[in-house]
């Protein structure tokens, strides 16, 4: 070390990876504010624009369709351009589309058909724009944290999105009271532009590219890590991913778990106000409580995933966590659906939701474990399965409720949760896909 060298430059763990994780958490938080806003504003928008419940369900499904269809392309996009460019670019688009939603014509300016088509088109594009965030940041987590230590950072990322959901309900309700539902979109859009600037300034695609990362931290991150992919491997990675048995099973199970998630994401606030007859302020508080329980569950899930993996290995650790959580989720969801007391029902349903979030880190950690160097593409496949049920649930829930009642509509989630648990019996997270862990000597 020379006299001009920074002290401890080479012999200390600079821990800059945790700062990058902080920006991932911020990105998750802002993403969920800017996508959950529609769910909270929906009752006011429905009355103002003259929409029916089924039409509102079509709008919800449009977001889920764009989000689900573009998950895998988003993972490929992130793998090609890198997380620095990808997240900065999509954050700018988030802001533009949020403003555009506030500019949808009113019933005095356009027919209901024009309004409905405008909302469906915008929400589809919002889904497309938000699709890359978790495949790309999943790949960022894989690149910036040591091999096998992904559970906690992934769990904290899920905690951030739940916190975003918790913050959205009171924030949007307050903004609607202050400036109307249109103003609530205009006033939240700048957060996306701020994120784009911060991400571009501070984040690099790989730790070795960042001057703030010391050699010791880089050595810690890169221990047991395969070398970066060549350009040819980048081009062919998506084919390997979609042919891998364990990735496809993880996608199918994640589909089942996220059906339950989308029942809550799209319909819980509406269910509280229009079915259980809670006032908007009280329903907003319950929505916050649900998201807080989800945040606690996500953090517990991240810690438990790493701990169980240490004790039982990559195959059994995530498997035990997910099977137990999904079975308990199904039980509490059914009890909540049939509960007569509305407050008891809300408590039971919130607990069921918490169990879905306990599984989040395990799904993503298992996917990264199988995919290795193909993490972004594999995370895109996983989240494709995770968001197709948003399309299904957006339409199936109100139709089931109309013909069979809301008990049946909510209880459909229990069937999917149990099926998701069964699929975990066949998943091998300890079996890396061919070529994903190639070392220089191989």
pLDDT tens figures, 5-45:
444 455 566 788 888 889 998 998 899 889 888 888 888 88
- Residue 9 resides in a domain: no
DSSP string, 292-360: HHHHHHHHHHHHHHHHHHHHHHHHHHHHHHHHHHHHHHHHHHHHHHH-SSHHHHHHHHHHHHHHHHHTH
Q: Supply the pLDDT for residue 128.
A: 92
Q: Supply the pLDDT for residue 2.
A: 42
- Residue 431 resides in a domain: no
- Residue 411 resides in a domain: yes
- Residue 280 resides in a domain: yes
SS3 2: coil
Q: Supply the pLDDT for residue 198.
A: 94
Determine the Cα angle at 176 with ends 258 and 389, to 5°. Answer: 15
Tell me, what CATH number does 386's domain have?
Answer: 1.20.1250.20
- Using the structure block, give the residue that is written with the tokens 């401890």: 8
Q: Supply the pLDDT for residue 240.
A: 80
Distance CA 34, CA 298 (A): 20
Over the stretch 147-193, which tens digit does the pLDDT of each residue have? Answer: 767 777 888 877 877 787 778 778 888 899 888 889 999 999 999 99
Is the pTM here over 0.75, yes or no? Answer: no
Q: Supply the pLDDT for residue 1.
A: 40
Give the residues of the chain that fall short of pLDDT 70. Answer: 1-13, 148, 224-238, 393-394, 434-442
Q: Supply the pLDDT for residue 13.
A: 63
Q: Supply the pLDDT for residue 435.
A: 59
- Residue 8 resides in a domain: no
DSSP letter at 409 equals H
- CA torsion sign for 397, 400, 402, 407 is negative
Q: Supply the pLDDT for residue 235.
A: 58
Q: Supply the pLDDT for residue 322.
A: 96
Domain count, the chain: 1
- Residue 212 resides in a domain: yes
- Residue 91 resides in a domain: yes
Is 167 buried (19+), middle (13-18) or exposed (0-12) by CB count in 10 A? middle
Domain of residue 304: give its range: 16-225+234-426
- Residue 432 resides in a domain: no
Number of other residues whose CB lies within 10 A of the CB of residue 209? 11
């Amino acid at each position: 070390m020379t006299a001009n060298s920074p002290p401890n430059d080479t012999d200390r763990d600079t821990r800059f990876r945790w700062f990058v994780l902080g920006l991932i958490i911020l990105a998750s938080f802002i993403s969920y504010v800017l996508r959950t806003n529609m769910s909270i504003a929906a009752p006011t928008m429905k009355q103002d624009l003259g929409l029916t419940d089924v039409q509102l369900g079509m709008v919800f499904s449009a977001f889920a369709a764009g989000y689900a269809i573009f998950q895998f392309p988003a993972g490929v996009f992130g793998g090609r351009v890198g997380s620095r460019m990808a997240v900065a670019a999509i954050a700018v688009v988030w802001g533009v589309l949020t403003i555009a939603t506030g500019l949808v014509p009113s019933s005095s300016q356009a027919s209901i058909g024009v309004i409905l088509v405008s909302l469906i088109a915008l929400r589809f594009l919002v889904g497309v724009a938000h699709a890359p965030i978790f495949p790309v940041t999943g790949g960022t987590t894989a690149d910036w944290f040591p091999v096998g230590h992904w559970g906690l950072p992934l769990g904290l990322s899920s905690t951030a999105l739940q916190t975003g959901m918790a913050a959205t309900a009171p924030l949007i309700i307050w903004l609607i009271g202050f400036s109307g539902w249109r103003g609530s979109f205009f006033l939240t859009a700048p957060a996306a532009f701020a994120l784009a600037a911060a991400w571009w300034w501070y984040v690099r695609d790989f730790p070795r590219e960042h001057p703030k990362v010391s050699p010791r931290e880089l050595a810690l991150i890169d221990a047991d890590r395969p070398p970066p992919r060549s350009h040819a491997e980048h081009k062919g990675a998506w084919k390997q991913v979609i042919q891998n048995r364990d990735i496809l099973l993880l996608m199918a199970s994640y589909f089942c778990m996220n059906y339950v998630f989308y029942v809550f994401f799209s319909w819980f606030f509406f269910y509280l106000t229009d079915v259980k007859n809670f006032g908007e302020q009280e329903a907003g508080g319950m929505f916050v409580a649900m998201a807080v329980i989800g945040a606690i569950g996500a953090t517990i899930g991240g810690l438990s995933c790493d701990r169980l993996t240490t004790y039982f290995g990559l195959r059994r650790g995530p498997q035990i966590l997910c099977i137990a959580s999904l079975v308990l989720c199904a039980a509490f969801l059914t009890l909540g659906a049939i509960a007569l007391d509305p407050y008891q029902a809300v408590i039971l349903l919130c607990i069921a939701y918490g169990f879905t979030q306990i599984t989040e880190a395990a799904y993503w950690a298992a996917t990264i474990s199988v995919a290795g160097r193909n993490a972004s593409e594999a995370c895109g496949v996983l989240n494709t399965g995770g968001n197709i049920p948003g399309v299904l649930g957006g339409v199936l829930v109100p139709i089931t409720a109309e013909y069979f009642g809301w008990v049946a509509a909510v209880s459909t989630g229990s069937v999917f949760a149990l099926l998701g648990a069964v699929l975990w019996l066949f998943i091998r997270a300890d079996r890396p896909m061919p070529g994903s862990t190639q070392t220089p000597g191989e």
